[in-house]
A and B are shown apart, each in its own frame.
Chain A
């Protein structure tokens, strides 16, 4: 709303100039190129820096509100949307994720899920573009079980051709327990910008 208000104020200041020029030319019904040229400075004179500063102040106030709530530990339980092995999971502390297929970590390994797409609490939500900054949200998990899925049958038959095949297959399953989801540092912190270059995504 403030953006619209400022734009209207900027435009209103230039309306008298147009009326003066029209009165001086004594030709109210004609559209002269002089008036056409006069319209261009009106758009250029809109103060973009003032609008940007206003927006930045609003953004800063929201970030400060969130940081204040996190300092008091009033945000409640966090949830996160993580990207793991080609799939996206919405996780909260205590959840168990099932990773299908071969996966190198073994039972007892403690891992950190770095590709956090979105994180939220009761009163706020952080959305990544496309992922949140590395180190902003810490999602820690532990591999608790490695097992096989139930037996799946692959049955093929061709009638009157003496052809029949049954293959049994069980795919590896890995159970991952989510231990904790924490907001590691303030939302608008500028640190750790360089550490992202060391990661392989």
Chain B
């Protein structure tokens, strides 16, 4: 191809000092070229192995022992005790257990709304 077309079509590709990595590391792309017909840009970036001295081991993940299982089972047992009873009877028993009035044990509409429920499909 002619020189005029070479310069007119695109800017020159060269691995000069100006295009070095600004962070200070080695430039990722070693060389850039264009094929003869000018329709393909070719970049050469050989893989650089990382020396062993520059590596660090992965941090250890420690298992945290949580007592949520006990709480959950106790809560489920308590809920099961009152589920099969009549709401009024359950309300009376809860009032006596907690020494409170009956008004807080009435059902509330805001408890029925969905709150941060997980997605039922993985791609949503």
Which residues on A are within 8 Å of B, measured CB to CB? 1-4, 48-49, 51-52, 55-56, 58-60, 62-63, 65-66, 122-129, 132-133, 136, 150, 187-188, 190, 193
Contact = CB atoms under 8 A, between A and B. Distances in A.
Given A59-B34, A150-B121, A190-B37, 14 more contacts: A48-B7, A56-B36, A60-B33, A62-B32, A63-B35, A122-B47, A126-B41, A126-B43, A127-B40, A129-B40, A132-B40, A133-B40, A187-B40, A190-B36
Contacts, number: 81
A123 B47 contact: yes
Interface size on B, as a range, is 20 to 34
A103 to B, nearest CB: 19
B44 A124 contact: yes
Interface of B: 2-4, 6-7, 12, 14, 16-17, 31-47, 121
Contacts of A125: 42-43, 45
Given A3-B14, A58-B33, A193-B37, A124 B42 contact: yes
B35 A65 contact: no
A188 B47 contact: no
Nearest to B41: A127
A189 to B, nearest CB: 9
A1 B33 contact: no
A55 B6 contact: yes
A188 B36 CA distance: 7
A191 B35 CA distance: 13
A123 B46 contact: yes
A1 B6 CA distance: 17
The 10 closest A-B pairs by CB, nearest first: A59-B33, A52-B3, A62-B33, A127-B41, A125-B43, A48-B3, A123-B46, A188-B35, A62-B44, A1-B16
